[in-house]
Amino acid sequence: MTLATVGYYEPWWMQVLKALVIFAVVFQLVPIVLLAERKVLGRFQHRYGPNRVGPFGLLQPMADIGKLIFKQQFRPRTAVAWLFALAPAISMMTAVATIAIIPFSNTVDIFGTRVGLYGLDPSIGILYAFAFGAIAFYGLMLGGWASGSKYSFLGAMRGAAQLISYEVAQGLSLVGVIMMAGSLSLTEIVNAQSHLPYIIPQFVGFIVFLVAGFAETNRPPFDLPEADAELVGGYNTEYGGGRFAGYFAAEYLNIIVVSAITSTLFLGGWMLPWVNPPTWVDPFVVLAKTLILVFFFFWVRATLPRLRYDQLMSLGWKIFLPLATLNALVTATLVVVT
Amino acid sequence: MPWTAGDDVIEVVRAPKPGPVRASYRAFGETLRGLKTTFARLVEGPKTIQYPEEKVAVYPRFRGRHKLHRFEDTGLEKCVGCSLCAAACPADCIRVVAAENTPENRVSAGERYAAVYEINLSRCIFCGYCEIACPFDAITMGHDYEMSDYNRGDLIFTKEMLLAEPLDRTPLRNAGE
């Protein structure tokens, strides 16, 4: 088992190159996940999903994105123009920025240069993801407010309340992992899972983190901000065309990011149990684990009905927050005792 | 009998409130059961019939587009222009103009024949009353159900169109299917 090198920085040109490669790879996942969701959801409902555009419907996301981008940019008269345009960009930017800390592998030698297969490995580690998660909330909130429509604003308030409620539980559920690993750095956390992935000792934390992750990404059964069956669309009611596509891409990027972070923190990142594959396999292991979790997102969407708003709040505050706190307390005690 | 408040109140018998362990098992276990149910659907595979390529077979008594018939031996039309179908039609979509058969121009087996026989298929409700009303079985409901067109005018089917064999594109359900 190769150990990760924490806090290693490459020359600047390598960092730029790395950023481009990681961005390109993860951004390509968005249309794939977009199509996969519709196809998998179709299979869950005894149907095929899109299979007309291109072979096996593979060009469907291209057709969808193309349609959205070439639409007229409509803006309500009461909207605050520059914020209205900026809000989806904030959502996109924060989602993309979080990808940077996901470690795909250890530091490896590529053509004689030592390269860490991650965007960056800051000492604050996972807090970086939470910081950007907090900024992502601005994207949603400003989008609803700058639309100049009261329904958008109400949707944004609802979304904001949900995000804040679950961010607390999500943050606390990680404390156990951080205490066990003794580090915030994601490479270090993966490193500490070389014997046992944290899903086993931190099962409660895993459940709370994953469910809070569903709520953070506005996915069913917590998709109250959008609630496509009951509402027009919540905070993105007034958006259309490319800007709506921005919000949409941000949502799917967030799914990928939450899945990747979960697989890093709880499923052992690039490490596999019992086998020790060569280093070049590591990024694919991370991608595979991420995509399995993304599939789980779809699976839950196909299964659970949407929560009522009071149920959502009581689940977040009355169940998950005490559960995460208890998990942190028990873990702290055990870490001190052993 | 004087009515006093509270007399007709029936006490609702509820199940005992689950304890914390049972409640959490219920929430967690039932969620897992739901996940199992949906996954079983995924394994079953799609049931979709890919419509334009595959078609659902129709039953023999399916009421599709009408057909007019001729006698097979003489080739004469069965329709005698009696207009009973038009009279029976609740949607009023059949128009029949009858004319006399002459020895030189013999079209139908009877005294008269339908010089004009039109069905406005954009109006037809496919009830099959015309078929029942017809004394000579000259008009029957076929199996053709793909009749969409670009113009309303094209949906008025003339006698020649109704007499022609329809393009055989509707699969018929076999016995027991």
pLDDT tens string A252-264: 999 999 999 999 9
| Tokens coding B161 | 């169109």
Q: Is B101 helix (H, G, I), strand (E, B) or coil?
A: coil
For residue B45, list chain A residues with Cβ-Cβ distance below 8 A. 43, 46
Weakest-pLDDT range from A169-183, A220-234, A303-317: A220-234
Please give the average per-residue pLDDT across A279-284, as a whole number. Answer: 85
Residues in chain B: 177
pLDDT of A21 strictly over 90:
no
In the prediction, which pLDDT does B18 show? 80
In the prediction, which pLDDT does B176 show? 66
Please give the average per-residue pLDDT across A143-159, as a whole number. Answer: 87
Task: Tell me whether A311 touches chain B (CB under 8 Å).
Answer: no
Domain that holds residue B115: 66-163
Q: Which helix (H) or strand (E) holds A31?
A: helix A12-44
Residue A190 has, within 13 A of its CA and on its CB side, a CA count of 33
CATH of the domain at B88: 3.30.70.3270
For residue B34, list chain A residues with Cβ-Cβ distance below 8 A. 303-304
| Tokens coding B58 | 């129709």
Q: Which helix (H) or strand (E) holds A144?
A: helix A126-146
Radius of gyration of chain B (CA): 30
Name the pLDDT band for A5 (thresholds 50, 70, 90).
low
Q: B110: phi > 0 → left, psi -120 to 50 → alpha, else beta; which? A: beta
In the prediction, which pLDDT does A293 show? 94
Pick from A38, A40, A41, A44 the residue to mutate for testing the B interface (most B CBs within 10 Å): A44
Neighbours of B45 (CB within 10 A): 10
Across the interface, whether the CB atoms of B46 and A42 are under 8 A apart is answered: yes
B96 Cβ neighbours under 8 A, 6+ residues apart: B81, B82, B83, B85, B86, B114, B116, B117
Measured CA to CA, the distance from residue A276 to residue B141 in angstroms comes to 71
Across the interface, whether the CB atoms of A47 and B35 are under 8 A apart is answered: no
Does residue B130 contact residue B66 with C-beta atoms inside 8 Å? yes
Instruction: Tell me whether residue B47 is in a domain.
Output: no
Does residue A283 contact residue A117 with C-beta atoms inside 8 Å? yes
In the prediction, which pLDDT does A240 show? 85
Instruction: Tell me whether residue B38 is in a domain.
Output: no
Name the pLDDT band for B22 (thresholds 50, 70, 90).
confident
Name the pLDDT band for A276 (thresholds 50, 70, 90).
confident
- Number of independent structural domains in chain B: 1
* Mean per-residue pLDDT of chain A: 87
Across the interface, whether the CB atoms of B34 and A304 are under 8 A apart is answered: yes
Measured CA to CA, the distance from residue A305 to residue A301 in angstroms comes to 8
Weakest-pLDDT range from A84-98, A103-117, A296-310: A103-117
Instruction: Tell me whether residue B175 is in a domain.
Output: no
DSSP secondary structure letter of residue B153:
G
Task: Tell me whether B52 touches chain A (CB under 8 Å).
Answer: no
- The partner residue sitting opposite A299, judged by closest CB among B39, B45, B50, is B39
Residue A291 has, within 13 A of its CA and on its CB side, a CA count of 17
Instruction: Tell me whether residue B79 is in a domain.
Output: yes
Q: Which helix (H) or strand (E) holds A140?
A: helix A126-146
In the prediction, which pLDDT does A2 show? 45
| Tokens coding A312 | 């959502």
Task: Tell me whether B41 touches chain A (CB under 8 Å).
Answer: yes
pTM for the complete prediction?
0.83
A45 Cβ neighbours under 8 A, 6+ residues apart: A302, B41
Encode pLDDT of B132-157 as tens digits.
999 999 999 988 888 888 888 889 99
Measured CA to CA, the distance from residue A244 to residue B69 in angstroms comes to 58
For residue B49, list chain A residues with Cβ-Cβ distance below 8 A. none
Name the residue of chain A whose CA is nearest to B47's CA: A46
Does residue A158 contact residue A224 with C-beta atoms inside 8 Å? yes
Across the interface, whether the CB atoms of B46 and A44 are under 8 A apart is answered: no
Residue with tokens 């609740």, as numbered in its chain: B90
Preceding peptide of A221 cis, ω within 30°: yes
Task: Tell me whether B158 touches chain A (CB under 8 Å).
Answer: no
Task: Tell me whether B20 touches chain A (CB under 8 Å).
Answer: no
Distance of CA B126 to the CA centre of its chain: 7
How many CB pairs below 8 A link A and B? 35
**Minimal CA separation from A45 to chain B, in Å:** 7
**Minimal CA separation from B7 to chain A, in Å:** 35
Across the interface, whether the CB atoms of B39 and A42 are under 8 A apart is answered: no
Measured CA to CA, the distance from residue A168 to residue A160 in angstroms comes to 13
pLDDT of A213 strictly over 50:
yes
Tell which residue, B127, B154, B150, has the closest CA to residue B64: B127
Name the residue of chain B whose CA is nearest to A42's CA: B46
Share of chain B above pLDDT 70, in %: 95
Across the interface, whether the CB atoms of A44 and B41 are under 8 A apart is answered: yes
Does residue B125 contact residue B86 with C-beta atoms inside 8 Å? no
Instruction: Tell me whether residue B112 is in a domain.
Output: yes
In the prediction, which pLDDT does A7 show? 56
Task: Tell me whether B26 touches chain A (CB under 8 Å).
Answer: no
Instruction: Tell me whether residue B119 is in a domain.
Output: yes
Instruction: Tell me whether residue B52 is in a domain.
Output: no
Amino acid in position B65: R
Helix axis angle for A12-44 and B20-44, nearest 10°, is: 80
pLDDT of A87 strictly over 60:
yes
Task: Tell me whether A44 touches chain B (CB under 8 Å).
Answer: yes
Does residue B142 contact residue B66 with C-beta atoms inside 8 Å? yes
Instruction: Tell me whether residue B146 is in a domain.
Output: yes
